[in-house]
Structure 1
C-alpha cells in the first residue's frame, strides 16, 4: 500500500499526542490530517460493524494482526482440513484400490467359476458320452449275451433233439424186439391154442361117444321093455328074438364105446407125447441157454481180465505221461532249447543283411479288426504270393508272411519239432512240450501311412524300422522264429524308450516254487466290473514280491508268471464260429477298457499290455491254438483303431484250449474269450534314453 507523507500540522499533532496522555486531542487531529481507511485498507464506506468514516492505523494494525491470526488459524484449519482431506483421499484411494482388487478378485473368481462350470459341463458332456457309450456297450453286451443264450439254447435243443432221436432209435429197436417177442409169443400161443383146440375136440368126441353109448343103452332098455311087454303076449316066441336083438345091440354099443375109449386114450397119449417133446425142447433150450450164458460169463471174465490188464498198463503209462507232463510244466520252457547264437540282426552283431524290403502302407495293404484272414485255418499257405485283393493282404505282406513261414519251418526242422500247420501268417509246431504257435509279431504295427523297412539276416533273424507320418519310429528285432526280442519307440523329439529287451540272458524261473508261493490268481470280467474296479486292477503291481523281473518270453510261456498280475476277461466280445473278425458293434464294447489303457499310456509311454486269446475244447488242439492267436491279434487291432493306443505297446498271444474257464469238453461260450493283462510290473525294462 502507498505511504502518504505527513503534513507539518499533522506531525505537530502527532508529537503533542505523544507528550500528552489525553488521546482526545490526537483523534481529531488524526481525523483531520490522516486519511481514514477501512480495516481492510479500503476506502469507506466500510463493511457492517466498522466506523463509517474509517479506522486508524492502530485499529487497522490490530485488525491486520487479528486478521493474520484469523488467516493463520484458517490456514491451520485449512492445512488440517487438507491433511484430513488428504487422509480421507488416501483412505478413499486405499478403499478404491481394495474395491478394485476385490473387483478383480471377484472377476477372476467369476472367470474361474465360469471356466470350472465350462469344464464341468464339458466333463458332464464327456461323462454323458461315456455313459451313452457304456449303455450302448451294455446293450451290445446284453444282445451278445442274449445271442449267446440263444446259441446255447439252440445247442441244447439240438443236443436234446439228438438225444431224442437216439432215444427214438432205441425205442424203435425195443419196439422191434418187442414185436418179435410178441410174434414169437403169438406163434407159441397159436400152437398152444391149436393143441388146446385139438384136445377139446378130442374131449368133445369122447363125450359125444359116451352120450351116444348112453342113448343107445337107454334106447336098448326101452326096446327091451317094449319087447318085454310084447313078450307077455308071446313070451316064448319073442323071448328068443328079443334076446338076440338085445345082445346084438349091446355088442355094437360096446364096440363103439371101446372105439371111443381107444381114440381118447390115443389122443391122451399123443398129447402126453407132444407135451413130453415140448418139455424136452424146453429143457434142451434151457440147457443151451445156460451153456451160452456160461460161455458169455467166461468170455466176459476173460475180457475183463484182459481189460484190467490193459487198464493197469494204460494207467501206468498215463501216470508216467502225467508225471512227465507235470515235470515239463514245472520247468522253465525258455531254457529247453539249445543255446542259440546271438541274433545277427542286432546292431552289436555288425552282421551284413542278406536282403532289404521297403514298403509304404495304405488302407489296401493292411488288415483291420473287422476283416478275416486270407487263409482259412486248416489250409496250407501257397508256395507263391497271394492275391492282393484277398482280405486286404498285399503281395508284399503275403510274401513276408510266407517268408516267415519258410524261415520258421526251417528252424523247426533243425530243432526236431514237427510242423502240423502253416497258414502263412501262423506256423503251429508240435514238440516235447506240446503245441506252439509262431507268427510275425510286427504284423500288428502295420498301419496306413507308415513306411516299413525290413532287413533279413543269415540266421533267419530280422530288423524292422517303421516310420510314421508324424516322425515317430519303432525299431523291432525278431529271432529266427519270428518272436520279437527287442523293441524301442523313438518320439519325434528324439526321446527313445526301450520297451523290452530279451537279448540279455534271463534268470531261470523256479516254476514249482512259484506255483507253491503265489497267491490265487485274480480275474475280473468287463461285463461284471465297473470303471473303478477295472482301473484298480490295471494299476495293480505284482501279487507278491517275487524279488525279480522276467523276460517277455517267460511271461508269455509260463502261466505262473503272468498270473502274478490280474487278468481282465473281455467277455463282451464274441466271435463267429471259426472266425477272427470283430464286427463294429462288438468293437464298441471295448470303450471302457480302451479309455483306461489310453489313460495309462498317457501317464507312462512304456506300459506294456498282453492280449491273450482262448477257445473252448471243441476242435483239434492245433486248430484252436492258431484260432485263439488270430483272435487276440484282432482285439489288439480294434484297440489301436478306436483309441490312441500305439500298437508297439501291445503283445498278442493265443493259448487255445489250454486254460478253460469252464471245465468241459463241450461247446462253451465262456471259454471263447480274450483277456488283457498289464505286464509292465513283471517285465524287465531298460531306462529310457
Structure 2
C-alpha cells in the first residue's frame, strides 16, 4: 500500500474511511442482525466437534492444544513445527459481573451465546460446530447492534479446508514505510505513539473478510496490519502474572484503545502472547495464552477497556523476537494489533 495512504493522518471519527481505502472487497457483504435467526435455548454447556483429523494433545482448564493433522505439519496453519494451536474460551473474561448467560442452538451445528451485563448491554457470540467464533456483536438496551467481527463465509460449503492458511498464496509483505513504523517497539509508555500506530490502516490490500480465527491462525494475514511490541511489560520466567508495579504501564495503551473505541465501538484488537524458547512447545503455548489473557483482563479490570473489543491468542515460542534458545526476557512479551479491517466490512468499503 503506497506510503501516501500509510502516512496520511487519520482524523478522529474517520478510522473507517481510512480503512476503506485499503479494504477492497469484490462483492458487497450483507450483515444481518445477529439475533435474527430463531434459536433453541439449551441448558447444557455447548459441545463442539474437533476439526477433521485434529486431536487434543493437552488440556489446561478451558484451554485445548490441538494437533491439527498432517496438513498443518506441512505448514498450512500457523502453529509451530508440530502443527499445534491453542484454543481457549473467553466467556469468563467477557462475562465478569454478568447478570445472565445463556446459549442457544442454531442451524448447521452453530451455537449463539449471550452474556447480559448489569447495564442491560448484551454481548452475543456465534460459534461454529468446531467452536470457532464466526461473529460477535454488542447490543444496547435500546436494541442497537454494534458488529465487532463477522465472517460472511462461515456457512459457505465451498470455503477452503479448515487447515488452509488464507495467506498461503499471498506474496511476501512489501513495506513502503520504515520497518520501525510497522513493528513498533515501545520501551516507555507513549499514548500518542500507541494511538497513531493502532489507527493506521493495513499496510496492504484486504481482499476479503477473514474470520477472527483465520486471523489468529495465519501469521501472513496478521502481517497485513502494524503491530506494537509491548516492551513496557515483561514477564518473569515461567510466569503469566503482571507485577503490580507494571500494571500502571498499561494505562497509556488503555487510553489509546479507549479513545479509538469511544469513536467507533466496533473496533477489535488482538492481544498476542509470546514466550522464550525454554521449555516444551505445549507448555509455552499455554503460558503465552495466559499472558495474553492477563494483559486483556488488566486492560478491562483496571482501565475499563471493553472486554469484547479484545481478542487474545498465545503463540508460544514460534515468533521469537530474539533468535535464541536460551532464556530471554525480550521474548516473554505481548504484542497488540488493531484487526478491525480484517474481520468485518467497514461501512464504506463494499463494492
TM-score (ref. length: structure 1): 0.39
Counterparts of 1:485 and 1:551, CA distance in 2: 6
Residue 186 of structure 2 is matched in structure 1 by: 526
Does 2:161 correspond to 1:514?
A: no
Report the alpha carbon displacement of residue 624 of structure 1 after superposing the two structures with TM: 0.8
Kept after mapping to 1: 8 A contact 2:235/2:242:
yes
**Match of 1:445?**
94
Residue number in structure 2 paired with 1:608: 268
Q: Say if 2:235 is the partner of 1:575.
A: yes
Query: What is the Cα deviation at residue 437 of structure 1?
Result: 1.2
For the residues of structure 2 that align with 1:610 and 1:618, how far apart are their CA atoms?
Answer: 25
Relative distance call for 1:547 and 1:516 in structure 2 (3 A) is same
More helix per residue: 1
In structure 2, what is the Cα distance between the partners aligned to 1:347 and 1:534? 35
CA 1:454/1:578 → structure 2, altered by over 3 Å: closer, same or farther?
Answer: farther
Unaligned runs of 5+ in 1: 1-345, 358-399
Alignment coverage as a number of residue pairs: 292
Shift of 1:568: 0.8
Alignment pair present for 1:644 and 2:343: no
CA deviations on 1:446-466 (whole Å, 9 max, x unpaired) are 212532123457976432111
* 1:590 is the counterpart of 2:239: no
Structure 1 residues 507-564: Cα deviation after superposition (integer angstroms, max 9, x where no partner)? 7776355333532682112325743322211110011334444332222111111112
Say if 1:613 and 1:655, in contact at 8 Å, map to a contact too. yes
- Structure 2's unaligned 5+ residue stretches are 1-33, 73-82
RMSD of equivalent CA atoms: 2.8
Determine helix, strand or coil for the equivalent of 1:428: strand
Shift of 1:347: 6.2
Give 2:287's match in structure 1, choosing from 609, 612, 627.
Answer: 627
Q: Does residue 417 in structure 1 map to residue 77 in structure 2?
A: no
Q: 1:421 to 1:606 in 2, by over 3 A?
A: same
1:144 match: none
Partners of 1:472 and 1:624 in 2: how far apart? 36
CA distance in 2, matches of 1:448, 1:350: 27
User: SS of 1:429's equivalent?
Assistant: strand
For the 8 Å contact 2:266–2:309, the answer to whether it is kept is: yes
**How does the TM-score come out when normalised to structure 2?**
0.74
Equivalent residue number for residue 427 of structure 1: 64
SS in 2 for 1:661: coil
* Cα contact 2:112–2:126 (8 A) shared by 1: yes
C-alpha distance in structure 2 between counterparts of 1:419 and 1:552, whole Å:
21
- 2:144: which partner in 1? 495
Task: Measure how far apart 1:444 and its partner are.
Answer: 1.9
Alpha-carbon contact 2:273-2:333 (below 8 Å) kept: yes
Cα deviation digits, residues 14-61 of structure 1 (max 9, x gap): xxxxxxxxxxxxxxxxxxxxxxxxxxxxxxxxxxxxxxxxxxxxxxxx
Alpha-carbon distance between aligned partners in 1 of 2:200 and 2:89, rounded to the nearest angstrom: 30
Question: Against the structure 1 CA distance between its residues 452 and 559, is the aligned structure 2 distance closer, same or farther, given a 3 Å change threshold?
Answer: same
Post-superposition Cα deviations, 1:546-604, rounded to whole Å, max 9, x if no partner, equal 44443322221111111121111122223333332323222111011011111111111
Higher-Rg structure is: 1
User: Is the Cα contact below 8 Å between 1:441 and 1:482 reproduced in 2?
Assistant: no
| Counterpart in the other structure of 1:356 | 43
- Residue matched to 2:118: 469
